[in-house]
Amino acid sequence: MDGITGVIIFLVVVALIIAVSCVKIVPQAQAYVMERLGAYQGTWSVGFHIKLPLIDKVARRVNLKEQVADFPPQPVITKDNVTMRIDTVVFYQITDPKLFTYGVENPMMAIENLTATTLRNIIGDLELDQTLTSRETINTKMRAQLDIATDPWGIKVNRVELKNIIPPAEIQNAMEKQMKAERERREAVTRAEGEKKASILSAEGEKESAILRAEADKQSAILRAEAQKEKMIREAEGQAEAILKVQQAHADGIRMLKEAGADEAVLKIKSLEAFEKVADGQATTILLPAELNGIASVGAALKQTMKN
């Protein structure tokens, strides 16, 4: 009995172990590819599953998350025969676990080799300068070609990035010299442009200064002319006022003589003296009325006699 009991217990334990091993729980973002008697049976998604013991087996556990494959630098030759090394980073995701399991023997090695050959084909059509300045174009072309090539393997290539482009040492030295020369050229151009702008500003300043000086001189000349004009007007007004006062004084004197009863001859002589004052030595010829001509002759004779 003890032997039979031990066998029963052993069988129960074995059955429990087999039952437990037949229970499978698929975690999130994973899928199990199942085979039955060596043939594809199905793909288990997330959740609780039970397989048949000794008949079903998990052929591959597939990660459905987006993954990153960083490949080592690959030697490539450009169109102008420059050899350089480029390493790439591929972002991919498994979309069909069955194709990923049965489509290719070693998917990662296949992607690496496919990436290297595709990169060589693309770089072979570009020159060195184009390769260094066309990363985005190269990335786009590689992603498109890899996505098409890996589609039968159940892999979708989401993005491809050129991580590093390493040209030969002599090319790097030449590029550094070129960059240095370019920086020096830009510095010289910037300095020349600055000097040019400074010269232009200086010339414009001198021009504006000359214009302001000319306007100031013009304004000064106008003010001087106005002052001279005002002076002449005032002098003329003063002379006219003086003449009027002299005439007024002589007129007052003649009027007083008339009031005192002076005869006609005295009045005419006073008129002659008034004409002499008016002339003030500035005129050489004085036109006298006809009735004063005789008096003028008599007056001249009297003055000559008095001088003698």
DSSP letters for 215-277 = HHHHHHHHHHHHHHHHHHHHHHHHHHHHHHHHHHHHHHHHHHHHHHT--HHHHHHHHHHHHHH
Query: Do 86 and 129 sit in the same domain of this protein?
Result: yes
Is residue 214 in some structural domain? no
Using only C-alpha atoms, the chain has a radius of gyration, in whole angstroms, of 63
Question: What is the domain count for the chain?
Answer: 3
Domain boundary among 63, 95, 111: 63
- Listed residues 151, 167, 183: the one ending a domain: 167
**Looking at the structure, do residues 83 and 152 belong to the same domain, yes or no?**
yes
Q: Which of 79-83, 143-147, 175-179 has the lowest mean pLDDT?
A: 175-179
Q: Is 33 exposed, middle or buried (0-12, 13-18, 19+ CB in 10 A)?
A: buried
Residues 46-55 have pLDDT tens digits of 988 888 888 8
Same domain membership, residue 76 and residue 18: no
Residue 183's pLDDT band (cuts 50, 70, 90): confident
Instruction: Read off the pLDDT of each residue in 121-134 and give the average, rounded to a whole number.
Output: 87
Q: pLDDT band for 8, please (50, 70, 90 cuts).
A: confident
82 and 159 together in one domain: yes
CB atoms within 10 A of CB 166: 13
Res 43: pLDDT: 93
- Could you tell me the CA-to-CA distances from 296 to 105, 282, 283 in Å, in that order? 154, 19, 17
The torsion angle over the Cα atoms of residues 275, 280, 284 and 289, rounded to 10 degrees, is -10
Task: State the chain's mean pLDDT as an integer.
Answer: 81
Dihedral pair phi/psi, residue 30, rounded to 5°? -135, 165
Q: What is the pLDDT of residue 262?
A: 53
Mean pLDDT of 188-194: 88
What's the pLDDT score for residue 302?
A: 43
- Is 281 contained in some domain? yes
CATH number at residue 74: 3.30.479.30
7 and 78 in one domain? Answer: no
Phi, psi of 66 (to 5 degrees): -70, 135
* Residue 285: pLDDT band with limits 50, 70, 90: low
Query: Do residues 90 and 159 share a domain?
Result: yes
What percentage of the chain exceeds 70 in pLDDT?
A: 81
Residues 73 and 138 in one domain: yes
With respect to residue 134, please indicate whether it lies within any of the assigned structural domains. yes
In a domain, 200, yes or no: no
Q: What is the mean pLDDT of residues 222-228?
A: 87
Question: 169 or 85, which is more confident?
Answer: 85
Residue that is last in its domain, among 18, 39, 63: 63
Question: Mapping DSSP to helix (H, G, I), strand (E, B) and coil, where does residue 287 land?
Answer: coil
Range of the structural domain that residue 71 is part of: 66-167
Query: Domain for residue 217, yes or no?
Result: no
